Structure 1
Amino acid sequence: MKSVFRTDCGRIRTHNEDFVSIFSNQSGELLAMVADGMGGHLAGDVASRMTSELLQKRWEEANQIDTPEKAEQWFLKHVVEINDEVLQYANEHEECRGMGTTIVAAICNDKFATVANVGDSRCYVMNENGFYQLTDDHSLVNELVKSGQLSKEDAEHHPRKNVLSRALGTEPQVEVDIKTITFEDGDLLLLCSDGLSNRVTDTEMSGILLTDDSLEEKATHLIALANDNGGEDNISLAIVHNILAEKAGD
């Protein structure tokens, strides 16, 4: 298993409200995550950082998560708990009222990957079936697309594209989407904030991921392309490649 994560402020914003990381638990299993904060006066930074730190603490204390059922139950329990903690912090600190964050996270081992998401940060998978988005955006525009009121093409340029229908830490109850897939040798996951997915097409992403470059080079190229295409938002990504150590080359 090889992995890499990167974050970049982008070309327009002066502050990065994204948090991205990859953690290992006591059994050496990986948890990759991306959180894209929202809220005025840097409060989005607080929400995404809290979510990352709370998730890391719980994951580092976790015992072996060796079945999809355990992974799914782990996400259901801990994402709900973190939602409560972020919301409580916001309610107790006036400057953080209304803050929240997206989250997309993946528990990965050499047999399966379990992905959880709230908001519009995404997880893509590349496997024998091609490259495709695994998560569903929790956004106003995507709800309009699913109901047939808006085409996918029009959604790309909709003025309210950034309005979320779900976020972490904004409401007492949070609904988490969880999905498990088979994760075989050679398969790859890409987790990212909308700073990447809004500026780099699926075709461009898959083209970069299919090159013989190292994971570090692929991550660098993806962020550079998002910046070349505007870079209006913070850009964050994590890549997990299920590849045997002897095949990895380094």
Structure 2
Amino acid sequence: MNFEYAALTDPGLVRDNNEDTVALDAENHLVVLADGMGGYNAGEVASAMATTFIKEELGRWLVEGGHEANARELKRAMEICIDNANRSIFNAANSNPMYAGMGTTMVMGVFMGTRTMIGHVGDSRCYRLRGNTLQQITRDHSLLQEQIDAGLISQEQAQFATHKNLVTRALGVEDTVLLEVNEYRVEDGDLYLFCSDGLSDMVSDQQLAAILMSTGGLQEKCRALVDAANGSGGRDNISVILTLARAKQVRRGLLSRMLGNGSS
């Protein structure tokens, strides 16, 4: 597979600062998006620490042979990386009063040929557009999602809930955190959307699908997604990463071309 990437982050229309951070490592087919939280500017410190640490540490592991690893080895490497990033943020939050209480949600993807490993903590999401079907392939670590799973609230009622942003997992809040990792098959034409809740809270799945299926390049679609969130009020920071998978064109060998040309 060949992969194309694009990303965009925007403060939105209400917040003074942007606590989201995105990171792309196209060479290692690694994408990371983090949505920070905390007083002062601590949220953006936490999200920047997370994306920088993951990009550097996991990127180094991939360079050193990680692309040849099996799914179990890659999953373990992602978990170790997140554990180390979590401890760094947690220690910073507990050693500097200005950073007290900071943390960040996170979603990441590693693309390896015909498979991808998606990891997340919190309510930053990954969607996959395959053909005309858009599917959310991460499940939020949030109080709202737990209530939905328990049958206490319906999906329709959840759209109007006032506690959408109460997450049950985040990096830096405790000394340990559990990363959820899942492996997916990648098909030709798959389009993956990684986003913060500043997009998913403001734009319906139907709108997301329509934008992703529209004409134009990946960067244009990133801009259209951000504009849609701002058009709905832009109440939070908005961040998106798009990854498009395309099957490599197989070049015919000289002998097959000669044989092909000789038959009619």
Normalised to the residue count of structure 1, the TM-score between the two structures is 0.93
Q: Distance in 1 between matches of 2:153 and 2:15?
A: 29
Instruction: Report the count of equivalent residues.
Output: 243
Report runs of 4+ in structure 1 exceeding 6 Å deviation: none
Residue deviations 1:150-177, cap 9 Å, x none?
Answer: 1111112211111111111101121111
* Residue 35 of structure 1 pairs with residue 37 of structure 2: no
What are structure 1's unaligned runs of at least 5 residues? Answer: none
Contact 2:29 2:112 in 1 (8 A): yes
Name 1:225's counterpart in structure 2.
228
Cα RMSD for the two superposed structures:
1.4
- The aligned runs of 1:5-84 (5 Å cut-off) are 5-24=7-26, 28-62=27-61, 63=64, 64-66=66-68, 67-84=70-87
- Say if 2:180 is the partner of 1:177: yes
SS of 1:115 mapped into structure 2 = strand
Instruction: Quote the Cα distance in structure 2 between the aligned partners of 1:48 and 1:92.
Output: 17
Match of 2:126 among 123, 126, 142: 123
Q: What is the CA–CA distance in structure 1 between the aligned matches of 2:159 and 2:45, rounded to whole Å?
A: 28
Q: Give the direction of change, closer, same or farther, for the CA distance of 1:47–1:226 in structure 2 (3 Å limit).
A: same
Paired position in structure 1 for 2:136:
133
The percentage of counterpart residues that share the same residue type is 35
One-letter amino acid of the structure 1 residue matched with residue 40 of structure 2: H
Paired residues for 1:97-246 under 5 Å: 97-128=100-131, 130-244=133-247
Deviation at 1:244, TM superposition (A): 4.4
From the superposition, tell whether residues 14 and 234 of structure 1 become closer, same or farther in structure 2 (CA, over 3 Å). Answer: same
Question: Are the aligned partners of 2:128 and 2:136 in contact in 1 as well (CA < 8 Å)?
Answer: yes
Query: Tell me, what secondary structure is at the counterpart of 2:32?
Result: strand
Partner-residue secondary structure (3-state), 2:161: coil
Cα distance between partner residues in 1 of 2:79 and 2:59: 17
* Cα deviation 1:57-115 (Å, max 9, x = unaligned): 11331223233223211111111111111101111111111110000000012211100
1:14 positional shift: 1.0
Distance 1:245 1:229 in 2: 38
Q: What SS class does the counterpart of residue 102 from structure 1 fall into?
A: strand
Q: Distance in 2 between matches of 1:128 and 1:210?
A: 9
What residue ranges of structure 2 are gaps of 5+ in the alignment? 250-264
